[in-house]
Every structure is written in structure tokens, then in C-alpha cells.
Amino acid sequence: MLIIPTPENLALGHERAISRAISWVENQHPGSLELLEQLQGRTPIIGITGPPGAGKSSLVNALALHWSAQNLRTAIVAVDPSSPFNLGSLLGDRLRMPGLFLDPKVYIRSVSARGSLGGLCASIIEICDVLKQAQFDHIIVETVGVGQSEIEIAGIADTTVVVTVPESGDEVQTLKSGIMEIADIFVVNKSDRDGADAFANHLKKLAHYRMGDGAWECPVLKTMAMEGEGIQALSEAIIAHQSQGISNQRKLHLLAEKAYRLIQRNRMQNISLQDLRDHIAESLNTGDFNLYRFTKKFL
């Protein structure tokens, strides 16, 4: 039976309605804007980010299983890397969350980054708003894992968890200027490895230094996601951060960032990447291509 996505169907948690609504906003279906304008959900967004190989998917898997055992519903948006040529997904992060497929309290949606440099995808705001309407207890957005450019998650998530591994110790100075500055919670995953304690202590000093006049001091937690160790403490830290509420300044920043991205996307909606490729190919064939003259035509 075809289920039309409506605010009422989403609020009832109809999985087909949720999936169709997400497809609508991804493909800019004519009815998607009218639907989005009626959505009212308020579930906080948890962003999981960090360098490649840090174990983000394993951590998301363990968190969702932990919450499912407490009879809580979790939605996961896994942003997959995409091919630079066809913009399709390369990895399919859901393959790394095998324990969740048959769990009725967990909804997983993989989306392609489609060339986005921020570790997210163009429709991430709208996708999250659909999931908020569906009355999940937790919504997790897992970014691609491309390094410093993932700081865009700070403009989407209410709580940002930065996942690292002990081997990241030599990279802290580089990371500090990027994803390390957006963390609400630090996680040192794979903490059974050598150097985990020293690296965690280094992060604690960094977190304390960053605290300033704020009321929230970023905790540093050690986990072994594959074994489920440290997940209870991480869950408690996420809930504690959300209970603090977002400061007026932070909330203003988040809303302005979201509004900016929505305006940017709407202004770009008539510009097709494939059309740009075709026009560039035509210009290259004529031997008269200048990138700046070319882009000026679209301003």
C-alpha cells in the first residue's frame, strides 16, 4: 500500500512514510517543501564525527543497541563517501551495523555525500527534520570521516561527539584547528591500544583549556565500541549535555547556520553539476576556457 508522507503519518512512525519523505527531500519532490513547512519535531541531533578509521560506525552501532535495550527508538543517518565521478555511495556504512538491521526500534538511512566537502550531504537538514517529526528518542548523524572539513556537523548537531583513537596523538596540533574545536564530547575509541591513557589525558587538558567561561567542560571518555565498553558512560554524557540546553549564543549560531545553508541550497537548486560538466567540456573543446569568466555567468 502506498503511504503518502504527511506530518501525521510521520508522527505515527510509519517506516514507509519516513523513507518516502526522505526520498522526497533528497530528490526535491514538488511536495517536499509543503511537507517540510508543516514539521514540528524537536528531537536533538547527535553528530558523530572524527578521522577515518576511528570506529565511528562501530560506536553508533553500540549506542543504538544500548538505547534499544532501554526500549528507546533511534534513527541513524549514515553519510557515505561518494564517487567523485557518479556521486554514488562507495562504502555503505550500514554494512558495518549488522546488529541493527532487524531491530524495530532502529531506523537506518544511508545517504551519499555527493561531493560535499563537509562530511555531510546537501539535504541533511531536511532529512533530520523529517526524522524529528517521526518522534525518535535519539537521532544520530554519522559523517563521512574526511578530517578537518567535517566541522560542518557543528552547524547541524546539538551535541557533537568527536571520535579519535590513541594513534591520533601526533595529529592533535593539526586537529585542534579543525574538528577538535567543535567537540562537546571527546571519545578515545579502541582504548585497549597503547598510549590510550596518555592521549586521553592530553585531550582532557585541551578540553579544560577550551572551556573558557562556559558551563560545559567537554568530557573525555574511553571506549571499546566492538566490545560495548564505555557506551553507558557515553550515553550518560550525551544526555547530560542535552539537558544543559544550548546557550543562546550557540543556539543562535546553529539556527543562523541552518538558515544560511537552506538559503544557499535554494539559490543553487537550478544549477546542475552535470550541466556544469557539459558546459565546461564544451568550453574546453573550443580552447577558450577561463574558470572565473565561466562562473561569472551563474552569479
Fold entry, domain 41-268: Rossmann fold (3.40.50)
49 bridge partner residues: 162
pLDDT of residue 172: 56
pLDDT means per 10 residues, the chain with 299 residues, are 85 92 89 91 90 88 95 91 46 57 87 55 83 95 64 78 80 56 89 91 80 74 95 97 73 74 78 87 85 84
pLDDT given at position 117: 41
DSSP character string of the chain: ------HHHHHTT-HHHHHHHHHHHHHT-TTHHHHHTT----PPEEEEE-STTS-HHHHHHHHHHHHHHTT--EEEEEEE-B-TTT--BSS-GGGG-GGGTT-TTEEEEEEE-TT-TTSS-TTHHHHHHHHHHTT-SEEEEE----SGGGGGGGGT-SEEEEEE-GGGGGGHHHHTTTGGGG-SEEEE-STTSTTHHHHHHHHHHHHHHHHTT-S-PPPEEE-BGGGTBTHHHHHHHHHHHHHH---HHHHHHHHHHHHHHHHHHHHHTT--HHHHHHHHHHHHHHT---HHHHHHTT-
| CA–CA separation, 40 and 164 (whole Å) | 34
User: Around 274, how many Cα atoms within 13 Å sit in the side-chain half-sphere?
Assistant: 2
Around 17, how many Cα atoms within 13 Å sit in the side-chain half-sphere?
Answer: 17
- Measure the CA–CA gap between 134 and 176, rounded to whole angstroms: 36
283's CB contacts (< 8 A; 6+ apart) are 289, 294
Give me the pLDDT at residue 95, please.
Answer: 55
Q: Are 159 and 186 in contact (CB under 8 A)?
A: no
Question: How is residue 141 written as a grid cell?
Answer: 548523524
CB 36, CB 74: distance < 8 Å: no
Within 10 angstroms of residue 171's Cβ, the number of other Cβ atoms is 13
User: What are the start and end residues of each CATH 3.40.50.300 domain in the chain?
Assistant: 41-268
Residue 271: per-residue pLDDT: 84
Of the candidates 117, 152, 174, which has an alpha carbon nearest to the alpha carbon of residue 47?
Answer: 152
